[in-house]
Amino acid sequence: CHALRRHFPHRPEMHVVHETVYQTLYVQGRGQLRRELAGALRSGRARRRPHRQANCRQPRFTDPMVMISERPAEAAERAVPGHWEGDLIIGKDSGSAIGTLVERSTRYVMLLHLPTDHTAASVRDALTQTAQKLPQHLKRSLTWDQGAEMAAHRSFTLATDIPVYFCDPASPWQRGSNENTNGLLRQYFPKGTDLSVHTREHLDAVATQLNRRPRKTLGWETPAERLHKLLTA
């Protein structure tokens, strides 16, 4: 388009913008002619890819999210126990799942039993049931990604008094402890397997094994030892 203006500066009928070219190729072109014309483009696409506009993005959940930037500083510093990271391990055919909870300062692990589905209601109920086992001073916050399974985050907070903070899109490092733990859990629950075959008791046994495993990041203490030390300090 710019070349036409340069070569024909005094012939405005030869001046076109790039949108005119695309409209001619993608809207007016038909059949074999359209394929041949589109093939001449640098991208070679037979169909035009629509542009996304950030201001037209639909809200992720009905209840507004509170982003990780609003999370208390003590959670980032890992000095106070009770701030958790959460995620899902998905099983074969995206049916069954296991929820993973990791306490940030101690790396203590708790697992959620989700043998049939991982809908927002199922995840909320499993989270609520697990959180009710915790003492009040270990219920400070939960950080999760923006997965659809957390659509019921508001009702979880109302039931447990635990605020939920959401990571930025495509930022798994904001839940680094959880990502690392999920890697360890894949030794027990390989990708592509049916997670519904594992009982709640088996999940508890696996969590116990991880909580008794010495961690370099904890100075070779175990998560269970570090949690006990913080709770009795």
pLDDT for residue 18: 60
122 and 14 share one domain? no
Q: What is the CATH number of the domain that holds 110?
A: 3.30.420.10
49, part of any domain = no
Give the up-direction half-sphere exposure of residue 111: CA atoms within 13 A in the CB hemisphere. Answer: 29
Backbone phi, then psi, for 88, in 5-degree steps? -120, 145
14 and 83 share one domain? no
201, part of any domain = yes
pLDDT for residue 35: 63
132, part of any domain = yes
The two three-digit tokens of residue 25, written as one number: 């190729």
pLDDT for residue 57: 47
- Residue-wise pLDDT for 26-51, tens only, equals 555 555 555 666 566 554 555 545 54
Q: List, as own/partner pairs, every contact residues 146-149 make where C-beta atoms lie below 8 angstroms and the sequence separation is at least 24, other chains included.
A: 146/60, 146/65, 147/88, 148/120, 149/88, 149/118, 149/119, 149/120, 149/123
45, part of any domain = no
pLDDT for residue 30: 56
The two three-digit tokens of residue 142, written as one number: 């939960």
Report the 10 Å Cβ neighbour count for 82: 21
Q: Which residues of the chain are under the pLDDT cut of 70? A: 1-6, 13-59
Chain centre distance of CA 136: 26
pLDDT for residue 61: 80
Non-local (6+) Cβ contacts of 24 within 8 A are: 37
pLDDT for residue 176: 93
28, part of any domain = yes
Structural domain containing residue 148:
68-232
110 and 154 share one domain? yes
Nearest-angstrom CA–CA distance, 82 and 135: 9
